[in-house]
A = this chain, B = another copy of it.
Amino acid sequence: MQQLTIAGTTFNSRLFTGTGKFGDAATMEAAILASGSELVTVALKRIDPKDPERHDMLAWLRHPHIRLLPNTSGVRTAGEAVFAAQLAREAMGTNWIKLEIHPDPRYLLPDPIETLQAAAELVKLGFVVLPYIHADPVLCKRLEEAGVAAVMPLGAPIGSNRGLRTQDFLEIIIAQSKVPVIIDAGIGAPSHAAMAMEMGADAVLVNTAIAVAGNPVNMAAAFREAVSAGRHAFEAGLPGESRQAHASSPLLAFLDE
């Protein structure tokens, strides 16, 4: 499997994970290790250095192969996002930031205007910016022009587990993008992750579907396999769909002879 490079950093795994919704920290750590993930996103709130209990949470994620990706979840404007990113850089010692701006608490859908504005400012401030956005191909191009390191279009609303409901637009984004495309949000089953990779996505980010599974550790391992399967299939060359049947087996002529 080809390695993935984002902003000069190389990843062996194309499965990125999140840290929300797990029942406890030990399960979270075990699941993340089982996933093979090398990029793990953490909400800034959870690493508030003033709160020892929350700060301690980082201890579970300290593994040499894991890069932490703080996210700005909870902010509602570009200004709040830039401020949150700066806090995160200080608290976590990384200039990587997952930019999430969703003003609406019900569907948690990202704001395109604030996101582009914040992305441009953060790039100027030296951040490696990975914005979470709607599957909007024009917005992706504008973010790319603004200097983001990757784009993170959604498959479906966060936590909905509905899969790649934006497929037609993800295909366009993947075809056009010069930066890595990471499908984020909505991936609710390993088959969804495999499909994203088969379409040529560079990576997927999965959180809810692992965290709330009956067995999160085994589900993480399942996603690891599925992402690998989908990427291998993409590299091996999938055949196209057909409206007509094509026999797998040559027809048996001798019975008529």
Contacts and interface: CB of A to CB of B under 8 A. Distances in A.
A175 B108 CA distance: 15
Contact of A105 (B161, B162, B241, B251): B251
A118 B13 CA distance: 42
- What is the count of identical protomers in the complex? 4
A102 to B, nearest CB: 7
B238 A229 contact: no
Contacts of A238: 188-189, 209, 213-214, 219
A166 B215 CA distance: 29
Interface residues of A, number: 103
A246 B168 contact: no
B75 A255 contact: yes
A158 B236 contact: no
Interface stretch (A4-12, A60-68, A123-131, A135-143): A135-143
Contacts of A160: 241-246
A165 interface: yes
